[in-house]
């Protein structure tokens, strides 16, 4: 997300599908920069309607938005769902994924309502996610106004950690699948870290692309590859009868935080929600009982439950961090799937890292560089260093399932659950009174506790497993 008021950037979900949008990060706009009406006249006596004042160069239809949300659900997150069910058990995983999906969807609705209300009050067409948090805190209790000056940097930190974490996952995913392909042709075991070194230069080069429009054709190819690959994975899942025999219905309680973090990482699309809604031709159609959001989330939850449930029943305790790594090692078709998905996720790394680069460069580094004659060189240095950060983290901890659960718990518990609860309470703090205010406080307090518990317990459990796996036992044979 960009702090600049007029830059075109891509907001990327878990799976890194970019959506171009014009951001309005700052809350107070000058008269010169304030967007004008998009052709629907409003008298000064009418309440300000953000929807009628949005100027979108290429507005998306309801179907376009639905497809964007669905495309964002097909990637590393859904491939990790069988491993999530291993931690929860198939019965708990089935019910738990649905419940978490409902909570996530409800939190997005809270965010949308608050965003619309804040835009009306500020008389701006739209706000970015960090700006929504800041505006809400300024409207809320005194403690919120005290925190508001710092919340943008805190939110950016969560977004930056999440995006870099997603890039780490992509590095591990690509290297692990390439390793499996090489193992198919050669008998000698090669460390997955060697493949990370091999793909480092291509990763740097794709992140040197400064204009996302040059990546758009490759992204479309990646989408086609992903759909074909998922069809082949489903073929392997159902080629033989599946049984619950030997599979646990209820997993260990101590592993539930790993399940929670993985499902959050997979399901939560908080990074693309505001850009998608802001780009719609009919943004009112995004929310509502039968709106685009609910229809897409129902289908997404169905896909995730299906992949997790049947993937776990198929492979049981042998399931790995990505279901692709469980496909038959001796079949060429299975290796083809791994290769296609490795290419698709490699392209996704360039899109996902773009957000981290945008935050780091435009919000912080460019202020230090100023009008230096070496400004472009410094930008490439920043791009290279961020790729190296994701590479070094992946080399240090080459484990898909622990990475996914860690970043899901650490970042998305905050951004997807705790933040929306805080935003809604602060936004409507002055307007709601009596019993309604008590109900709103109780509801948001419960969601806030769930989010904070997921953040602390999930992060602790993931870090504990990482330390135990890589620094105590030295056991990193997950691939």
pLDDT single digits (tens) 175-197:
999 999 998 888 778 899 999 99
Residue 214 has pLDDT above 90, yes or no: no
What pLDDT score was predicted for residue 10? Answer: 39
Residue 16 has pLDDT above 50, yes or no: no
pLDDT-wise least confident of 28-42, 105-119, 240-254, 314-328: 28-42
Residue 478 lies in a domain: no
pLDDT single digits (tens) 143-175:
999 999 999 999 999 989 988 888 999 999 999
What pLDDT score was predicted for residue 105? Answer: 93
Are 131 and 354 within 8 A, CB to CB? no
Residue 45 lies in a domain: no
Are 106 and 451 within 8 A, CB to CB? no
Residue 3 lies in a domain: no
Burial 394-433 (b: 16+ CB within 10 A, else e): bbebbbbbbbbbbbbbbbbbbbbbbbbbbbbbbbbbeebe
What pLDDT score was predicted for residue 474? Answer: 57
Q: How far is it, in rounded angstroms, from Cα 375 to Cα 377?
A: 5
Q: Could you tell me the two tokens for 180?
A: 């499996």
Q: How far is it, in rounded angstroms, from Cα 55 to Cα 172?
A: 40
pLDDT single digits (tens) 249-306:
999 999 999 999 999 988 877 767 877 888 888 888 888 888 899 999 999 999 999 9
What pLDDT score was predicted for residue 342? Answer: 93
Higher-scoring residue by pLDDT: 20, 199: 199
- From the CA atom positions of the chain, what is the Rg in Å? 22
What pLDDT score was predicted for residue 30? Answer: 33
pLDDT > 70 fraction of the chain, expressed in percent and rounded:
88
Question: What is the arithmetic mean of pLDDT over 102-114?
Answer: 93
Residue 37 has pLDDT above 70, yes or no: no
Nearest CA to 268 among 299, 297, 244, 239? 297
User: CA–CA distance from 62 to each of 39, 283, 410 (Å)?
Assistant: 21, 8, 32
Residues 6+ apart with CB under 8 A from 296: 65, 66, 69, 70
pLDDT band at 476 (very low <50, low <70, confident <90, very high): very low
Other beta carbons within 10 angstroms of residue 107's beta carbon come to 26
Nearest CA to 101 among 277, 321, 304, 251? 304
pLDDT-wise least confident of 44-58, 88-102, 439-453: 44-58
Residue 42 lies in a domain: no
- Three-class secondary structure assignment of the chain: CCCCCCCEEEECCCCCCCEEEECCCCCCCCCCCCCCCCCCCCCCCCCCCHHHHCCCCCCECHHHHHHHHHHCCCCHHHHCHHHHHHHHCHHHHHHHHHHHHHHHHHHHHHHHHHHHHHHHHHCCCCCCHHHHHHHHHHHCCHHHHHHHHHHHHHHHHHHHHHHHHHHHHHHHHHHHHHHHHHHHHCCCCCCHHHHHHHHHHHHHHHCCCCCHHHCHHHHHHHHHHHHHHHHHHHHHHHCCCCCCCCCCCCCCHHHHHHHHHHHHHHHCCHHHHHHHHHCECCHHHCCCCCCHHHHHHHHHHHHHHHHHHHHHHHHHHHCCCCHHHHCCCCCHHHHHHHHHHHHHHHHHHHHHHHHHHHHHHHHHHHHHHCCCCCHHHHHHHHHHHHHHHHHHHHHHCCCHHHHHHHHHHHHHHHHHHHHHHHHHHHHCCCCCCHHHHHHHHHHHHHHHHHHHHHHHHHHHHHHHHHHHHHHHCCCCCCC
Residue 478 has pLDDT above 50, yes or no: no
What value does the mean pLDDT of the chain take?
84
CATH at 192: 1.10.4160
Question: What's the half-sphere exposure (Cβ side, CA atoms, 13 Å) at 440?
Answer: 19
Residue 2 lies in a domain: no
Q: Could you tell me the two tokens for 449?
A: 């506790």
pLDDT band at 45 (very low <50, low <70, confident <90, very high): low
Residue 18 lies in a domain: yes
Residue position matching structure tokens 């229809």: 295
Domain holding 398, by residue range, is: 8-36+52-472
Provide the whole-model pTM.
0.82
What pLDDT score was predicted for residue 326? Answer: 93
pLDDT single digits (tens) 343-367:
989 988 887 888 888 889 988 898 8
Residue 452 lies in a domain: yes
Q: How far is it, in rounded angstroms, from Cα 321 to Cα 83?
A: 6
What pLDDT score was predicted for residue 36? Answer: 41
Q: How many domains does the chain have?
A: 1
Residue 244 lies in a domain: yes
Higher-scoring residue by pLDDT: 41, 117: 117
What pLDDT score was predicted for residue 473? Answer: 67
Question: What is the arithmetic mean of pLDDT over 26-44?
Answer: 41
pLDDT single digits (tens) 110-145:
999 999 999 999 999 988 889 999 999 999 899 999
What pLDDT score was predicted for residue 479? Answer: 43
What pLDDT score was predicted for residue 73? Answer: 67
Residue 434 backbone dihedrals phi, psi, to 5 degrees: 60, -140
Residue 307 has pLDDT above 60, yes or no: yes
């Amino acid at each position: 997300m960009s702090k600049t008021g007029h830059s075109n950037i891509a907001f990327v979900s878990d799976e890194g599908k970019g959506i171009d949008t014009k951001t309005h990060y700052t809350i107070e706009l000058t008269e010169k920069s304030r967007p004008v009406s998009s052709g629907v006249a409003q008298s000064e006596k009418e309440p300000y309607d953000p929807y009628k004042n949005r100027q979108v160069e290429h507005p998306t239809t309801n179907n376009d938005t639905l497809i964007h949300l669905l495309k964002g659900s097909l990637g590393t997150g859904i491939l990790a769902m069988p491993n999530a069910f291993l931690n929860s058990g198939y019965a708990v995983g089935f019910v738990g994924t649905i419940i978490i999906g409902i909570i996530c969807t409800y939190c997005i609705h809270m965010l949308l309502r608050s965003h619309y209300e804040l835009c009306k009050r500020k008389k701006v067409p739209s706000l970015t996610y960090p700006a929504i948090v800041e505006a809400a805190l300024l409207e809320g209790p005194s403690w919120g106004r005290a925190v508001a000056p710092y919340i943008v940097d805190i939110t950016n930190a969560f977004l930056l950690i999440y995006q870099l974490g997603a890039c780490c996952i992509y590095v591990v995913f690509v290297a692990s699948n390439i390793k499996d392909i090489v193992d198919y042709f050669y008998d000698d075991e090669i460390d997955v870290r060697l493949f990370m070194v091999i793909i480092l230069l291509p990763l740097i080069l794709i992140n040197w692309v400064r204009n996302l429009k040059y990546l758009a054709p490759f992204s479309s190819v990646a989408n086609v590859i992903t759909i074909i690959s998922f069809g082949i994975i489903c073929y392997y899942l159902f080629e033989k009868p599946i049984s619950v025999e030997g599979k646990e219905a209820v997993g260990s309680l101590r592993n539930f935080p790993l399940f929670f973090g993985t499902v959050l990482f997979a399901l939560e699309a908080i990074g693309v929600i505001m850009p998608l809604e802001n780009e719609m031709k009919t943004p009112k159609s995004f929310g509502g009982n039968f709106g685009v959001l609910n229809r897409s989330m129902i289908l997404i939850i169905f896909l995730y439950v299906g992949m997790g449930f049947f993937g776990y029943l198929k492979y049981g305790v042998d399931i790995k961090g990505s279901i692709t790594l469980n496909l038959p090692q001796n079949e060429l078709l299975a290796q083809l799937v791994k290769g296609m998905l490795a290419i698709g996720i490699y392209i996704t790394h360039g899109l996902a890292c773009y957000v981290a680069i945008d935050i780091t460069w435009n919000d912080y580094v460019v202020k230090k560089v100023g009008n230096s004659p070496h400004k472009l060189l410094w930008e490439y240095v920043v791009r290279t260093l961020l790729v190296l950060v994701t590479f070094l983290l992946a080399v240090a901890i080459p484990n898909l399932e622990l990475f996914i659960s860690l970043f899901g718990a650490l970042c998305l518990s905050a951004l997807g659950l705790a933040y929306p609860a805080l935003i809604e309470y602060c936004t409507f703090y002055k307007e709601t009174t009596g019993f309604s205010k008590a109900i709103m406080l109780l509801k948001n307090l419960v969601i806030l506790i769930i989010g904070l518990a997921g953040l602390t317990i999930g992060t602790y459990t993931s870090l504990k497993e990482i330390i135990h796996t890589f620094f105590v036992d030295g056991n990193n044979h997950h691939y």
